[in-house]
């Protein structure tokens, strides 16, 4: 599903990533760990094609994404669900309308209402569809973001520190929701500093240190 082959990315003379290689299978939940500055953000930006590697190859679902033309990149991103730590919801739109936006961007008009309600039901927010983000708790806001990420049935979800601002109980609920999406063969890559969650779930863990892969294990533990 996701394959990095000897990927290096520099910013000036600084190597943000150096000779990074790993394989992620379809339907995996993968934790991307490492201290600040280890290269996690750069890696996620490469996955989103916000950046291109200086060398090496990144293949997503069989496609070398560095070869995509600029006009093809928006269509590629439509196939990815994104979960942000700071939510990035539109506060002048309801929860329903925020989730609907993902389908609008994807150009998906088929059974739109049913898809939105299904996504909201899966995250436990169907009864809050008509509320605005300011009326939700932090955990509910992140659930709304997950609903927006899954509504178009993406093959890949990228989650950047989705539990960073949440309490331990809510954090576990959010990760359990993301883990549940892998049941439908969606691949989830989650950058996190949450040691307890990583260690308790024992999934595929890729640890970065100084821009290099220091550990890549299934059933692994958090490594700083």
- Tokens coding 130: 């008509």
- Tokens coding 118: 């299904």
Sequence-separated (6 or more) residues with CB below 8 Å from residue 147: 95, 99, 116, 119, 120, 122, 123, 125
Given this model, what pLDDT does residue 160 score?
94
Given this model, what pLDDT does residue 107 score?
86
Each residue's pLDDT tens digit in the chain (224 positions)? 999 999 999 999 999 999 999 999 999 999 999 999 999 999 999 999 999 999 999 999 999 999 999 999 999 998 899 998 888 999 999 999 999 999 998 888 889 999 999 999 999 999 999 999 999 999 999 999 999 999 999 999 999 999 988 999 999 999 999 999 998 889 999 999 999 999 999 999 999 999 999 999 999 988 87
CA distance 20 to 145: 29
- Please, what is the angle between helix 95-106 and helix 112-122, to 10°? 130
Closest to 93 in 3D by CA, of 31, 56, 135, 138: 135
């Amino acid at each position: 599903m996701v394959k990095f082959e000897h990927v290096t990315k520099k910013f000036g003379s600084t190597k943000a990533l150096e000779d990074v290689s790993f394989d992620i299978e379809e339907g995996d939940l993968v934790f991307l760990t490492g201290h600040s500055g280890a290269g996690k953000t750069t890696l996620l930006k490469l996955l989103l094609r916000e950046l291109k590697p200086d060398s090496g190859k990144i293949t997503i679902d069989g496609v070398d994404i560095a070869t995509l033309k600029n006009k093809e990149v928006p269509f590629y991103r439509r196939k990815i669900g994104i979960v942000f730590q700071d939510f990035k919801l539109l506060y002048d739109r309801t929860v329903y309308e925020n989730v609907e936006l993902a389908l609008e961007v994807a150009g998906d008009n088929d059974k739109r209402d049913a898809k939105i309600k299904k996504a909201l039901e899966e995250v436990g927010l169907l009864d809050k569809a008509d509320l605005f983000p300011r009326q939700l708790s932090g955990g509910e806001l992140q659930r709304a973001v997950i609903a927006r990420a899954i509504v178009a049935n993406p093959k890949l979800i990228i989650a950047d520190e989705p539990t960073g601002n949440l309490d331990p109980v809510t954090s576990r609920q959010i990760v359990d929701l993301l883990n549940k999406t892998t049941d439908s063969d969606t691949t989830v890559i989650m950058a996190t500093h949450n040691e307890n969650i990583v260690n308790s779930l024992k999934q595929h863990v890729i640890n970065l240190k100084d821009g290099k892969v220091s550990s890549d294990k299934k059933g692994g533990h958090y490594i700083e």
